[in-house]
Amino acid sequence: MEPNADIALIGLAVMGQNLILNMDDHGFTVVAYNRSTEKVDQFLANEAKGTKVLGAHSIAEMVSRLKRPRRVMMLVKAGKPVDEFIDQLIPHLEPGDIIIDGGNSLFEDTNRRQKYVESKGLLYIGTGVSGGEEGARRGPSIMPGGSPAAWPHVKDIFQAISAKVEGGTPCCEWVGEMGAGHYVKMVHNGIEYGDMQLICEAYNIMKTGLGMSADDMHEVFAEWNRGDLDSYLIEISRDILAKKDADGLPLVDKILDTAGQKGTGKWTVINSQDLGIPITLMAEAVYSRCVSALKDERVQASSMLEGPNPALPDIAASPERKSAFIEDIRNALYASKIVSYAQGYMLMRAAAKEYQWNLNYGGIALMWRGGCIIRSRFLGKIKEAYDSNPALTNLLLDDYFVGEIRKAQDGWRNVVATAALKGIPVPAFSTALAFYDQYRSGVLPANLLQAQRDYFGAHTYERIDQPRGQFFHTNWTGKGGATASSTYNV
Ligand code: 2AM
Catalytically annotated residue among 47, 173, 192, 284: 192
Buried b (16+ CB within 10 A) or exposed e, 163-198: bbbeeebbbbbbbbbbbbbbbbbbbbbbbbbbbbbb
Asked if pLDDT for residue 318 goes beyond 70, the answer is: yes
Q: How far apart are CA 427 and CA 284, in angstroms?
A: 6
Asked if residue 329 lies in contact with residue 428, where contact means CB atoms within 8 angstroms, the answer is no
What pLDDT does residue 425 have? 98
Report the pLDDT averaged over residues 352-381: 95
User: Ligand 1 atom closest to Cα of 80?
Assistant: 19
Task: Say how many CA atoms lie within 13 Å of 458 toward its Cβ.
Answer: 13
Candidates 411, 414, 409; CA nearest to 396 is 409
Q: Which residues fall within 8 angstroms of residue 203, CB to CB, at 6 or more apart?
A: 217, 237
Compute the distance between CA of residue 110 and CA of residue 79 in angstroms, rounded to an integer.
Answer: 10
**184 near 104, Cβ under 8 Å?**
no
Q: Give 278-326 as a 3 state SS string.
A: CCHHHHHHHHHHHHHHCHHHHHHHHCCCCCCCCCCHHHHHCHHHHHHHH
Give residue 485's pLDDT band: very low, low, confident or very high (50, 70, 90): low
Q: What's the whole-number mean pLDDT along residues 406-435?
A: 98
Is pLDDT of 321 > 70? Answer: yes
Identify the pLDDT of residue 109.
98
- How would residue 262 be classed by pLDDT, with cut points 50, 70 and 90? confident
CB distance 321 to ligand 1 below 6 Å = no
Q: Are 99 and 124 spatial neighbours (Cβ–Cβ below 8 Å)?
A: yes
**Whole-angstrom Cα distance, residue 130 to residue 368?**
9
The identity of residue 367, as a single letter, is M
User: In this model, does residue 488 exceed pLDDT 90?
Assistant: no
pLDDT for res 397: 98
How many whole angstroms from 126 Cα to the centroid of ligand 1? 18
CA gyration radius, the chain: 26
pLDDT band at 327 (very low <50, low <70, confident <90, very high): very high
Contact 270, 195 (CB under 8 A): no
Q: What is the mean pLDDT of residues 289-307?
A: 98
For 6, phi and psi rounded to 5 degrees?
-80, -35
pLDDT higher at 483 or 245 = 245
Question: Residue 461 phi/psi, 5° resolution?
Answer: -145, 160
Q: Express as a percent the part of the chain with pLDDT over 90.
A: 95
Q: Please name the residue whose Cα sits nearest to atom 12 of ligand 1.
A: 35
What atom of ligand 1 comes closest to residue 10's alpha carbon? 10
Question: Phi and psi dihedrals of 69, rounded to 5?
Answer: -65, 145
Task: Report yes or no: 426 and 415 within 8 Å, Cβ to Cβ.
Answer: yes
Q: Tell me how far apart the alpha carbons of residues 250 and 326 are, in angstroms, rounded to a whole number.
A: 21
**pLDDT at position 486:** 60
- What local confidence, expressed as pLDDT, does residue 489 receive? 45
Residue to probe by mutation, ligand 1, list 58, 77, 133, most atoms within 8 Å of CB: 77
When the pLDDT of each residue in the chain is averaged and rounded to a whole number, the result is 96
Tell me which amino acid residue 165 is. V
Angle (deg, nearest 10), helices 427-439 and 319-355: 60
Ligand 1 contact via 37 beta carbon (within 6 Å): no
The tens digit of pLDDT for each residue in 445-464 reads: 999 999 999 999 999 999 99
For ligand 1, whether the C-beta of 83 sits within 6 Å is: no
- pLDDT, tens digit, 9 for 90 and up, residues 99-156: 999 999 999 999 999 999 999 999 999 999 999 999 999 999 999 999 999 999 999 9
Q: Assign 167 a pLDDT band (cuts: 50, 70, 90).
A: confident
Question: Average pLDDT, stretch 183-206?
Answer: 98
pLDDT exceeds 80 at position 97: yes
Q: Tens digits of per-residue pLDDT, 437-448?
A: 999 999 999 999
Note if 192 is an active site residue.
yes
- Tell me the whole-structure pTM to 2 decimals: 0.95
Is residue 399 very low, low, confident or very high in pLDDT (cuts 50, 70, 90)? very high
Residues 6+ apart with CB under 8 A from 357: 145, 175, 176, 177, 178, 180, 183, 351
Q: What is the pLDDT of residue 1?
A: 63
Ligand 1 contacts CB of residue 106 (under 6 A): no
Whether pLDDT at 481 is above 80: no
Partners of 224 in the β-ladder: none
What's the pLDDT score for residue 222?
98
Give me ligand 1 centre to Cα 107, in Å.
Answer: 20
Burial 329-356 (b: 16+ CB within 10 A, else e): bbbbbbbbbbbbbbbbbbbbbbbbeebe
Whether the pLDDT of residue 490 is over 50: the answer is: no
Share of the chain above pLDDT 70, in %: 98
